[in-house]
């Protein structure tokens, strides 16, 4: 029996999700099968339907309720476990007061500007936005078996899941309307969601590239200013009116819609504060404090013309990934609560409300990724050992407009000095990666979608 392609499976999963979205009270397996037959004039065998439902349950898209034949399947966002808007986090007393202050109409909140003294007053290991108890609790839920291994080890093991989760959820916090399944189809199969603006697709792809970058950068001995500039450049590619502002500190004013806060427009002050943020970040001894510090101060400074909060969220993850802690996916995060926490930073220079948000979403992320890690198969040792050489082989082949073939793979193995004992498997992997390359996965190899399309049209024949 021929193997069903992933594109067919993805289409079946998408159809099932859409049927469950319309059935607000959920469907049992037989009801779902009947609905599928009516909607698509085709039968989905019972065992196939069960496998698709099991996959959606494991991915966290669907929740089963009940047992045996009485089991009803519902989308989590319609079962009280929202994938598009999370529950309000448990708030501290200070968080409650701050939430009330920043929830008032904008005209009732006094105008404020940037105050670099707030940054200067922060002393690493003496100033803490997270209490000792907070940090201990976060470490207890976030620590992984890889905590004493090179930075990025744990993130690489769960990378395929992290790319989808974080690309989707971080984009959603910016108003992106891609669903998680849309995001998965784009990143794994290069399938763009119908009816979506091109900027939404670009935002998802940019996140994927930037996440791969921070996982690679996690092994470096410190976070450098150029690291953060690079993260911004990757996140903002093709999304700014002026491409020269990708990865560059801003030199003109910006406004925060819906806030009484006005960031500084003085280039010298922006540069001074930015470098002080990086210096302070590296001196903070706790990765969770680093993460919250970066989310607060990078957003507060607004060092770039746009894409500041996205950058701050990925820098926060870089801090966690460097320490091999579970990353922060923001899945289930409530957009409003995140905005209110950030507004409290903007207008009051207070982090308690953002801290309450951070504590809640991190615990949710950490519990999920520990389960994911336990289900991850053992990585191919050759692919792991020659990760950079494989990336170079794919990147160079596409850039040169070369056609995949046995001779090309052999030449790559020789040129990149692959050991004789590993050469055969390396050549197989080169061919496998090239033949399965798509517009979504091309970003992993430092390629723009346009570069992939040009290469594909030039050298690739239609696949069966």
pLDDT computed for residue 58 by the predictor: 65
Pick the closest to residue 292 from 231, 227, 361 (CA basis).
Answer: 361
Alpha carbon 50 to its chain centroid, in Å, reads 29
| pTM of the predicted model as reported, rounded to 2 decimal places | 0.68
**Calpha distance 63→155 (Å, rounded):** 26
* Superfamily for domain range 93-374: Fido-like domain (1.10.3290.10)
> Sheet containing 62-65: which strands, arranged edge to edge?
27-28, 72-75, 62-65
Question: How confident is the model at residue 7, as a pLDDT?
Answer: 66
* pLDDT for 1: 43
Helices (H) and strands (E) in the chain, counts: 21, 5
Instruction: State residue 111's pLDDT score.
Output: 93
Query: Using CA atoms, how far apart are residues 339 and 312, in angstroms rounded to an integer?
Result: 13
pLDDT reported for residue 462: 45
Task: Using CA atoms of 436, 437, 439, 445 in order, give the dihedral in degrees to the nearest 10.
Answer: 150
For the record, the structure tokens of 96 come out as 């409650």
pLDDT by 10s per residue, the chain, length 464: 455 666 677 778 878 888 888 776 788 888 888 888 888 888 888 888 888 888 787 666 788 887 666 788 888 753 334 344 455 677 888 888 898 999 988 888 989 999 999 999 999 999 999 999 999 999 999 998 876 788 888 888 889 889 999 999 999 999 999 999 999 999 988 899 999 999 999 999 999 999 999 999 999 999 999 999 999 999 999 999 999 999 999 999 999 989 999 999 999 999 999 999 999 999 999 999 999 999 999 999 999 999 999 999 999 999 999 999 999 999 889 899 999 999 999 999 999 999 999 999 999 888 877 665 544 455 677 887 898 999 999 999 999 989 888 899 999 999 999 999 899 889 989 988 988 888 777 878 888 888 888 888 887 554 44
Which CATH code, of 1.10.10.10, 3.40.1280.10, 1.20.1740.10, 3.30.1120.10, is assigned to 6-78? 1.10.10.10
pLDDT at 2: 53
Domains of the chain, residue spans: 6-78, 93-374, 381-459
Here the contacts of 236-243 (C-beta below 8 Å, separation 24 or greater) are 236/206, 236/304, 236/306, 236/307, 237/202, 237/206, 237/209, 237/448, 238/202, 238/206, 239/199, 239/202, 239/203, 239/206, 239/306, 239/307, 240/305, 240/306, 240/307, 242/305
Neighbours of 188 (CB within 10 A): 18
Supply the angle between the helices 335-348 and 352-374 in degrees, to the nearest 10: 140
pLDDT score for 314: 98
Predicted local distance difference test score (pLDDT) of residue 6:
64
6-78 and 93-374 share one fold: no
């Amino acid at each position: 029996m021929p193997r069903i392609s992933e594109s067919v499976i993805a289409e079946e999963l998408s159809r099932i999700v859409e049927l469950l979205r319309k059935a607000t009270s959920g469907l049992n397996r037989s009801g779902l099968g009947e609905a599928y037959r009516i909607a698509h004039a085709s039968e989905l065998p019972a065992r196939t339907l069960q496998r698709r439902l099991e996959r959606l349950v494991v991915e966290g898209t669907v929740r089963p309720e009940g047992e045996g034949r009485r089991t009803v399947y519902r989308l989590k966002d319609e079962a009280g476990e929202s994938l598009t808007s999370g529950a309000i986090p448990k708030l501290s007393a200070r968080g409650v007061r701050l939430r009330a202050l920043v929830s008032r109409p904008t005209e009732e909140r006094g105008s404020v500007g940037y105050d670099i003294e707030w940054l200067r007053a922060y002393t690493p290991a003496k100033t803490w936005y997270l209490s000792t108890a907070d940090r201990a609790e976060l470490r207890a839920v976030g620590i992984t078996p890889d905590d004493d291994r090179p930075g990025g080890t744990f993130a690489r093991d769960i990378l395929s899941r992290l790319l989808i989760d974080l690309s989707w959820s971080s984009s959603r916090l910016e108003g992106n309307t891609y669903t998680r399944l849309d995001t998965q189809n784009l990143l794994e199969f290069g399938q763009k969601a119908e009816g979506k603006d091109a900027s939404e697709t670009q935002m998802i792809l940019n996140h994927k590239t930037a996440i791969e970058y921070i996982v690679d950068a996690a092994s470096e001995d410190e976070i450098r200013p150029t690291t953060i500039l690079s993260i911004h450049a990757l996140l903002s590619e093709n999304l700014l009116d002026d491409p020269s502002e990708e990865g560059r500190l801003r030199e003109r004013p910006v406004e925060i819609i819906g806030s009484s806060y006005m960031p500084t427009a003085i280039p010298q002050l922006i540069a001074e504060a930015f470098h002080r943020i990086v210096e302070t970040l590296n001196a903070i001894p706790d990765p969770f404090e680093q993460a919250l510090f970066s989310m607060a101060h990078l957003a507060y400074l607004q060092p770039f013309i746009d894409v500041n909060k996205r950058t701050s969220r990925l820098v926060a993850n870089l801090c966690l990934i460097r320490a091999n802690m579970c990353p922060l996916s923001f899945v289930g995060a409530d957009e409003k609560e995140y905005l209110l926490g950030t507004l409290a930073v903007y207008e009051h220079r207070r982090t308690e409300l953002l801290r309450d948000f951070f504590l809640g979403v991190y615990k949710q992320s950490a519990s999920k990724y520990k389960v994911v890690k336990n289900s991850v198969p053992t990585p191919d040792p050759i692919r792991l050992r020659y990760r950079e050489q494989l990336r170079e082989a794919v990147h160079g082949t596409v850039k040169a407009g070369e056609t995949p073939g046995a001779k090309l793979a052999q030449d790559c193995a020789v040129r990149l000095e692959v050991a004789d004992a590993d050469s055969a498997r390396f050549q197989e992997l080169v061919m496998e990666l090239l033949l399965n390359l798509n517009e979504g996965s091309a970003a992993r190899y430092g390629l723009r979608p346009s570069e992939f399309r040009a290469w594909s049209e030039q050298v690739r024949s239609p696949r069966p």
